[in-house]
Amino acid sequence: MRPLFITATGTNVGKTYTTLQLIEILSAHGIRVGVYKPIETGVTTHAPDATALLHAVQRHNPTFGSLTPSDITAYTFPLPAAPFCADTTQCIEVERLLAKADQLSQLCDLLLIEGAGGLMVPITQTFTMIDLAQALDAHLLLVTPSRLGCINDTLLSLTLLQSRHLSYEWCVNLHEDHTTFAQVTQPYYDKAFPVWWSLQEGLEEFCQNLIEK
């Protein structure tokens, strides 16, 4: 199956939460899921996102059973910043990012790849997260927030995806301002997008469609 790259409009929107949910749903449908966190920053003693993702996969896919969090990441850095900024020695190599994805994809039916930050987060001076997704020929799932001001962030990300002619879907994580979302944001989405879905209500159907492709 084609890799699935989970991205967002920015940080703290819900990429890890979404990926964890995908692991459970897809595994319940009999898909051998694997996981890859190409780069994780803000790592001092252990990589929290990679650790959570790996433990979730190990409950369902025994081929990942002997792996450690460092096995499902290509790079970790202590500075909590964009990879380019966290990589103070400029050691990131795009080839290594791609090779690790290829290695992990051999252990599963579907590799879930969780990005860092948003689509334009720099990995190197000239290579961004959206470039990585494109190089991996991945289908993308864009997770957008529900807080006030999210329409602008969402439209910018969708415009970028469309300009690259990439295969993607998007959903809203009804996590913030959920009590006011129906008044301050949803009216525009309902008008501009005849079909849109929330992470909380549409992820099961998304997974089913993914399997049937």
Give the pLDDT confidence of 13-39 residue by residue, as tens digits. 999 999 999 999 999 999 999 999 999
Give the CATH number for residue 89: 3.40.50.300
Q: Please give the structure tokens belonging to residue 82.
A: 């964009």
**What is the rounded distance in angstroms from the CA atom of residue 190 to the CA atom of residue 209?**
22
pLDDT of residue 197: 97
- Cite the active site residues: 37
Q: Please give the structure tokens belonging to residue 160.
A: 């970028």
Domain count within the chain: 1
Each residue of 146-188: pLDDT tens digit?
999 999 999 999 999 999 999 999 999 999 998 899 999 999 9
Q: Which residue has the tokens 């929290």?
A: 48
* Contacts by residues 71-74 (CB-CB < 8 Å, ≥ 24 positions apart): 72/35, 72/36, 72/37, 72/104, 73/36, 73/37, 73/38, 73/39, 73/40, 73/47, 73/100, 74/38, 74/39, 74/100
Domain that holds residue 42: 4-212
More confident residue, 87 or 175: 87
pLDDT of residue 213: 78
pLDDT of residue 178: 83
pLDDT of residue 162: 97
- What is the pLDDT of the chain when averaged over all its residues? 96
Q: Residues 152, 160: contact at Cβ < 8 Å?
A: no
Check pLDDT > 90 for residue 104: yes
- pTM, to two decimals: 0.97
- pLDDT-derived band of residue 196, with 50, 70 and 90 as boundaries? very high
